[in-house]
A = this chain, B = another copy of it.
Amino acid sequence: MTPLQLGDKTFSSRLFTGTGKFASNQLMQEAIEVSESELVTVALRRVDMNNQADDILKHLKHKRINLLPNTSGVRTAKEAVFAAQLAREALETNWLKLEIHPDPKYLLPDPIETLKAAEELVKLGFIVLPYVQADPVLCKRLEEVGTAAVMPLGAPIGSNQGLQTKEMLRIIIEQSQVPVVVDAGIGAPSHAADAMEMGADAVLVNTAIAVSPNPVEMGKAFKLAVEAGRMAYEAKLATKSMGAEASSPLTAFLDEL
């Protein structure tokens, strides 16, 4: 599998993970480690900036792991830019997952505020990965203001519904000049493999690993599925057909006996 170039880094793993909803930080650490994820998103508000012994970060010290602070909880571009600057200081990284979702029920992203914030954050030197609707025009506009990737959603966050926006994801992947990371909605390894087979550059999985009764096994399952999907994409899938073709040609061999 080819490594993924994203921003100023190169990743062996195309599985990005999150840190929310785990039953314990210990389980989170183990699940993320077996997943071999190299980019892990952390909500800024979960980092205790006055506490040297801050709990969650302590569990993300593996040398493979790069932190990706996110702005989850903000509702406007202005709040996002402020949160991003705090995150940069606190976590000493200019990478940022930009999330602006005013809607408390489905946590769907705001396209207007997201574009506005992305433009400003790029100018401020951030490596911006915006979480957005599967909107191909918006994704092009984000790319044009300089985001390092686009992160269209497959379905609402935490819904585990899989790629409900598949046709739009297909167009985004076809048109994008920056990596496409499918984020939100991926609820099973098959969904992750499906996204990779379509040509997504990576996927971000959080809920499906974190709330599984066995997050460590699930982390490993997602690792394998992402590799399987990427491998199949690189090896090229056979096309679907309406009619069957025999797996092996039919002959009249019994008649000959």
CA distance in complex: A161, B245 (Å): 12
Q: Is the CB of B246 within 8 A of A20?
A: yes
Q: Is the CB of A159 within 8 A of B43?
A: no
In the complex, what residues of B have CB within 8 A of residue A250's CB?
72-73, 104
CA distance in complex: A218, B193 (Å): 13
Q: Is the CB of B244 within 8 A of A106?
A: yes
Q: Is the CB of B74 within 8 A of A206?
A: no
Tally of this chain's copies = 4
Most B Cβ at <10 Å: residue of A214, A221, A223, A234? A221
CA distance in complex: A133, B137 (Å): 9
A-B contact pairs, 21 of them (CB 8 A): A44-B253, A45-B253, A72-B250, A73-B250, A106-B136, A106-B244, A111-B112, A112-B115, A155-B167, A156-B171, A159-B241, A160-B237, A161-B167, A161-B240, A189-B193, A189-B229, A212-B237, A213-B235, A214-B235, A218-B231, A223-B228
Beyond contacts A208-B237, A221-B231: 18 other A-B pairs, Cβ-Cβ < 8 A, are: A20-B249, A45-B254, A103-B140, A105-B244, A107-B247, A108-B136, A109-B137, A111-B112, A111-B138, A133-B168, A188-B232, A189-B231, A193-B228, A207-B245, A210-B247, A212-B232, A212-B237, A217-B234
